[in-house]
Structure 1
Amino acid sequence: MLAASACSAQAPEASAAAGGAPFKRAVVADFDAPWAMTFLPNGRMLVTEKDGRMLLVSADGKNRRVVATVTVDSAGQGALMDVVLAPDFRTSRLVYFSFSETGQGGKGVVLARGTLQGGTLANIQRLFQARPYVEGNGHYSGRIAFSPDGKFLFFTNGERQKFTPAQAKDQTLGKVLRLTLDGKPAPGNPLARQGFAPEVWSYGHRNLLGIAFDAQGNLWQQEMGPKGGDELNLVLPGRNYGWPNASNGSHYDGRDIPDHKPGDGYEAPKVWWNPVISPGGLMIYSGKLFPQWKGDAFIGGLSSEALVHVDLNGTQAQKADQWSMGARIREVEEGPDGAIYLLEDGGKGAPGRLIKLTPRG
């Protein structure tokens, strides 16, 4: 499934300012079609590429090598997807990641992990795969977050553009899952005794492309709506988030979907967008470079080509800023120095750049 190789470095491009925004931006590196990234304790980065390569990149972006090549089905929205360090990475060297593949019954998303040893991701283990595998190339999701105590892993499974699996009890599609660090159903999941798949934490989701805990331990998740109705949700155990029975958007063919409303039995989003932003990547800021934003959420905008800022206050949220970035933003991460890093989507002959945002002045 995997092989290690090396790749030559690419030089970063010149710096540029994001006009009208309270930050300046610098291009750190170029990639082909990146999907996600995470920082190592020493400031280096792991970056995933759509075609299945995982890159180890120097802090300045000038040097890189391929630490693993995963066999993925990259058609449509398929890719080597999220990459996140284990909570005990400094001692275990474990790296968790997700990818899409072809298997029995169609295609699906897989959770895996490996050990970063020198310049290679070794001892790869498959931990979990979505159920069932179905035909189609969309809505894999595949985002990863660890609980604040480091004991559990939350994993998103999209509904694969099939609608009804999001409400199906016996499937993991359209769900937020809570797993052990070995990929097994976590004990005490809220719906296991109600006939649901034992991994399910919440359900009624569409395409979940960002998930993160804030400093108070609240779990936030964003997902793409249909034609309208992109959402930022506070994820609560056992709750039903409505898809496809409720949405503040409409079907692409124009058919109406009932809006979220009090008393409908579904958990409404804390914030929603229409026109859509096409959210890709979610980060809760905790650094010192932008103290005015500490504790707030930042979302990458794909079709909106934007960086979206949401003000979080406890369990409440409201829209704050939306800055045009001139490219599809696939991922948002906070660097060790408190800078905000953006990964452009890339593909179709255009590079996906890594952009570093720092305060003006």
Structure 2
Amino acid sequence: MPRLPLFACLSLLIAWPLPLLAQTTAAPGERGVLGVTVLLTDLQHPWSMAFLPAQQGLLITERPGRLRLMDAQGALSAPLSGVPQVYARGQGGLLDVALPPDFAEERWVYLAYAEAGEDGQAGTAVGRGRLAADNRGLEDFSVIFRQQPKLSSGTHFGARLVFDGAGYLFITLGENNQRSTAQDLDKLQGKVVRLYADGRVPADNPFVGQAGTRGEIWSYGHRNPQGAALNPRTGQLWTHEHGPRGGDEINIPQAGKNYGWPLATHGVNYSLLAIPEAQGKTLAGTEPPHHVWAKSPAISGMAFYDAERFAQWQNSLFIGALADQALLRLELDGDRVVSEERLLQGRNARIRDVRQGPDGYLYVLTDAANGQLLRLGLQAQ
């Protein structure tokens, strides 16, 4: 497989010694000059990434159904074996990848993906397999969760995975473009669910044991949540979701709470007509957004910044924007969003995912048939 030219990284300050590529650019920002390095090109609609510990590399998913590994020298592997077959239509395919806190012991790799049903409809599934000793494939892959019923014809799968500090697995689930299902507690559309790492349902989930409900549910009334991360300061789960036309929002999901969709929304239909079920921007008995955009950036991916490398980015939350083709930096005062800066504008790139690397840099995936992996940092002015 062709590779871009590499040159050695000489800085002893970088904890994860990825080589730099020759394609490095800089642009001014509110907090310094943004340095952008292209690490990989020709990725086919990359969707997510996860850093392996001990400088073993970076796992990257490609939506058509491939899992790749970039090693510490910058080389991109062939597709790993043992990955499940995915429903690669519309927004579906191989989506998120995540590692549990105890990865070093069992080497489990978790994948979220769109899975076809017998009737041609699809839903989100999550499974896990052990990363082989040679890092070339997943072994003993098994499905631990399936969204039921399967209602998607190719849209709104959600599918971000987050492990909390206690080892619980949170999964964000879109409503498959079937609006009313987000309010149905007997369905897994438009929900955030909480499971044990092996897929079992915790007994203290809010709806366990209640008739006509799914015990997996943690929160409900979500549209299509494609961003999720733990706030390192509080340990709380944050999520964000696509609104319709307008009304993209950030939430801090609490057990058993209703986040409103489609009964409450700041957006309208793409036709500019009102959402039929909507009763206003807010509604008694539902939780208002923690933060909302009146005009949708089309948000995807989420990362809190808590590294020491770039002090200017401390207390920041980074979110990708697909439609607005930018990386959003939200400055936080506690949990409150106090300002927004837009990075990477002018590159004509849909930002699908963003992660903080072990070296304190930001890593970004662009969503395209020739998608890229970028590394971002601040340079002295």
Q: Normalising to structure 2: TM-score of the pair?
A: 0.88
Look up the match of 2:50. Answer: 38
- Which 4+ runs in 1 deviate beyond 6 A? none
Look up the match of 1:116. Answer: 131
Look up the match of 1:3. Answer: none
* Per-residue deviation, 1:10: 4.8
Between stretches 280-289 and 205-214, larger displacement belongs to: 280-289
SS at match of 1:65: coil
Say which of 190, 195, 208 aligns to 2:225.
208
- Runs of 5+ unmatched residues, structure 2: 6-20
- Please tell me the residue identity of whatever aligns with 2:24: S
Matched, 1:97 2:108: no
* Per-residue deviation, 1:297: 1.3
Separation of aligned partners in 2, 1:295 and 1:38:
22
Between stretches 312-321 and 55-64, larger displacement belongs to: 312-321
Answer whether contact 2:318 2:329 (CA < 8 A) is retained.
Answer: yes
Between stretches 56-65 and 273-282, larger displacement belongs to: 56-65
Residues 132 and 359 of structure 1: is their aligned pair in 2 closer, same or farther, counting only changes over 3 Å?
A: same
Residues 8 and 126 of structure 1: is their aligned pair in 2 closer, same or farther, counting only changes over 3 Å?
A: farther
Answer whether contact 1:249 1:259 (CA < 8 A) is retained.
Answer: no
Separation of aligned partners in 2, 1:304 and 1:259:
26
Matched, 1:273 2:293: yes
Answer whether contact 1:260 1:266 (CA < 8 A) is retained.
Answer: no
Look up the match of 2:364. Answer: 342
Say which of 134, 147, 150 aligns to 1:133.
150
* Per-residue deviation, 1:180: 0.8
Separation of aligned partners in 2, 1:200 and 1:184:
12
Matched, 1:357 2:362: no
SS at match of 1:90: helix
Answer whether contact 2:218 2:255 (CA < 8 A) is retained.
Answer: yes
CA RMSD of aligned residues (A): 1.7
Deviations 1:205-227 (CA, angstroms, capped at 9, x unpaired): 00010111112111100000000
Separation of aligned partners in 1, 2:315 and 2:93:
30
Separation of aligned partners in 2, 1:331 and 1:230:
16
- Please tell me the residue identity of whatever aligns with 1:73: Y
Between stretches 137-146 and 16-25, larger displacement belongs to: 16-25
Answer whether contact 1:289 1:359 (CA < 8 A) is retained.
Answer: no
* Per-residue deviation, 1:193: 4.2
Answer whether contact 1:299 1:308 (CA < 8 A) is retained.
Answer: yes
- Please tell me the residue identity of whatever aligns with 1:126: V
Say which of 293, 304, 319 aligns to 1:284.
304
Between stretches 161-170 and 67-76, larger displacement belongs to: 67-76
Separation of aligned partners in 2, 1:8 and 1:300:
28
Residues 35 and 315 of structure 1: is their aligned pair in 2 closer, same or farther, counting only changes over 3 Å?
A: same
Matched, 1:57 2:70: yes
- Please tell me the residue identity of whatever aligns with 1:175: K
Deviations 1:216-273 (CA, angstroms, capped at 9, x unpaired): 1111000000000000111111110000011111112222244433x62211111111
Matched, 1:18 2:27: yes
Look up the match of 2:316. Answer: 296
Deviations 1:4-50 (CA, angstroms, capped at 9, x unpaired): xxx56455561122344632111011112101001111331000001
Deviations 1:293-342 (CA, angstroms, capped at 9, x unpaired): 33421100000101111223334334421224321000001111000010
* Per-residue deviation, 1:92: 1.1
SS at match of 1:165: helix
Say which of 259, 265, 281 aligns to 1:241.
259
Matched, 1:219 2:232: no
Look up the match of 2:188. Answer: 172
Residues 60 and 302 of structure 1: is their aligned pair in 2 closer, same or farther, counting only changes over 3 Å?
A: farther
Answer whether contact 2:152 2:177 (CA < 8 A) is retained.
Answer: no
Separation of aligned partners in 1, 2:320 and 2:73:
22
- Please tell me the residue identity of whatever aligns with 1:217: G
SS at match of 1:16: strand
- Please tell me the residue identity of whatever aligns with 1:272: V
- Runs of 5+ unmatched residues, structure 1: 1-6
- Please tell me the residue identity of whatever aligns with 1:247: T
Answer whether contact 1:210 1:223 (CA < 8 A) is retained.
Answer: yes
Separation of aligned partners in 1, 2:190 and 2:139:
31
Residues 13 and 328 of structure 1: is their aligned pair in 2 closer, same or farther, counting only changes over 3 Å?
A: farther
- Please tell me the residue identity of whatever aligns with 2:238: W
Look up the match of 2:99. Answer: 85
Between stretches 292-301 and 178-187, larger displacement belongs to: 292-301
* Per-residue deviation, 1:176: 0.2
Separation of aligned partners in 1, 2:108 and 2:201:
20
Answer whether contact 1:35 1:79 (CA < 8 A) is retained.
Answer: no
- Please tell me the residue identity of whatever aligns with 2:49: M
Answer whether contact 1:340 1:357 (CA < 8 A) is retained.
Answer: yes
* Per-residue deviation, 1:184: 2.0
* Per-residue deviation, 1:135: 4.1
Separation of aligned partners in 1, 2:189 and 2:85:
22
